[in-house]
Amino acid sequence: MSLYQNLHGSAHAKHAHVKVIHCVSTNSISLVWTTASFEFYCVAGPNTSRAALAQGANKIIQWVKREEERLFIIGGAVF
């Protein structure tokens, strides 16, 4: 949770206008990708390459976009 809190804080800092944050520590490698429509947080082992992490993130995001209607309530009923 503390890693997520630090990544979220970096992504949403008052003067931060970055879209992608890549952090490396002795215990893990992490990636934060923010757009107008989603935020993506990914953490992997310390020996994972940056390219492999980015490729895995792209695959997950593409899958979510394909399955969006099944995974999320979109255009639900209005009462």
pLDDT attached to residue 57: 94
Domain boundaries along the sequence of the chain: 2-65
DSSP states along 40-64: EEEEE-TT--HHHHHHHHHHHHHHH
21 residue type, one letter:
I
pLDDT bin (cut points 50, 70, 90) of residue 40 is very high
pLDDT bin (cut points 50, 70, 90) of residue 28 is very high
Alpha-carbon gap, residue 36 to 46, rounded angstroms: 29
